[in-house]
Amino acid sequence: MDEPIRIQGKYDAPRVRDGLIVCVFKQLPFTQWAESVERAFDQWLEAVPKGAAAFATVGNASSGKPVNPRLLTACRAQLDRKKAASRETSGFEIGGPQPLNPDYQFAVWGGTDSKRKAGNPYTNFVELHLPTEGLDASGDDFAALACRFAETLGFDSGYASLALHWSIDGELNDASKDMVPLAMRHPGFDMHSNLVTSFQLGRRSRGARWLTFLGSEQVEELGGKAALAKKCGSKVEISELGDGLALRVSGAPKRGDVNRKQRLAGEEAVARAIEPVTFFGDEELGRHVFGRKQDARERWERRFLD
């Protein structure tokens, strides 16, 4: 297994670390998704070790606080359908055991703004972080966990992958300087700021990952399961999941290394197959994570294609 990445920051925590990520996007008023998110949250609490739910930031709070029964109730209140109907946005982050850039995290953000056009609701998301140290050699356990969450939630798109996680906004400039070279060298790492991406994503996909979720609209646009299987080839397993599909690259997720000519052929095949439904031009991600280096962001978005 590759050595873990831990780049220390100034708050007694890594400003950059590697990890695992599962992210699911769904475009609809959050009131219609909240109950599914609560079920997924319960699944997460059952799946993670004691201490993983140690610190939480609820709603628009500026910083996390140690979790106690009252704060956990406040998290659940964000997932109450009736209460969510009275708010423009709902969400929280909870994780641990570390207060910053933790091993484990559950994050949700969604909107129910009556001022938005009926045909243009928010794209909500749920995101999970896990440590790479727990990744099994086959990747099967991680894939099963990711698919279970995605099926519980229902999805327009989503993915599971290795990822580079950054700490807090106050360290993002320095974190970008660390992350961008790593991401350009190792294409298997996800780079993410899914809150800002969700504002423009709609029902499109963020692109190919080790495990890529496609909703029913995307599957139909791409010609169905058989057409995707033909385009992806033998390195990619395609299975039905809820109303959509899960496209999994064989084996466990890998970093890849362009310096050593270690290509990720499975992800490249998926990228070509799903290019018509992929979201490119994520300028907010560029400004937020790539340190305003839009050229690097563009190259990274197309790393499996060009």
Residue-wise pLDDT for 212-261, tens only, equals: 999 999 999 999 999 999 999 999 999 999 999 999 999 999 999 999 99
Stretch among 63-77, 212-226, 284-298 having the lowest mean pLDDT: 284-298
Sign of torsion over alpha carbons 47, 183, 258, 160: positive
The band of 116, judged by pLDDT with boundaries at 50, 70 and 90, is low
Taking the C-alpha atoms of residue 88 and residue 256, their distance in angstroms, rounded to an integer, is 41
What residues contact 258, with CB distance under 8 A and at least 6 apart?
Answer: 184, 185, 186, 187
Q: Domain for residue 1, yes or no?
A: no
Percentages of the chain per state (helix, strand, coil), in multiples of 5 = 40, 25, 35
Q: Domain for residue 221, yes or no?
A: yes
pTM equals 0.96
Q: Domain for residue 168, yes or no?
A: yes
Q: Domain for residue 306, yes or no?
A: no
Tell whether the model's pLDDT for residue 120 goes beyond 90: no
Question: Cα separations (Å) of 101 from 55, 127, 131, 211, 258?
Answer: 11, 14, 11, 23, 27
Count of other CB atoms within 10 angstroms of residue 20: 25
Domain span at 68: 11-301
Tell whether the model's pLDDT for residue 113 goes beyond 80: no
The tally of domains found in the chain comes to: 1
Q: Domain for residue 231, yes or no?
A: yes
Q: Domain for residue 2, yes or no?
A: no
Q: What is the pLDDT of residue 276?
A: 98
Q: Domain for residue 153, yes or no?
A: yes
Which tokens belong to 29? 């008023």
Give the DSSP per-residue string, 272-288: HHHGGGB----HHHHHH
Q: Where are the beta strands (DSSP E) in the chain?
A: 6-8, 14-27, 55-58, 65-66, 89-96, 104-111, 123-130, 157-166, 189-190, 211-214, 236-241, 244-249
DSSP state letter for 258: G
Q: Domain for residue 5, yes or no?
A: no
**Cβ atoms of 107 and 23 closer than 8 Å:** no
In degrees, rounded to 5, the angle at the alpha carbon of residue 64 between the alpha carbons of residues 285 and 13 is 70
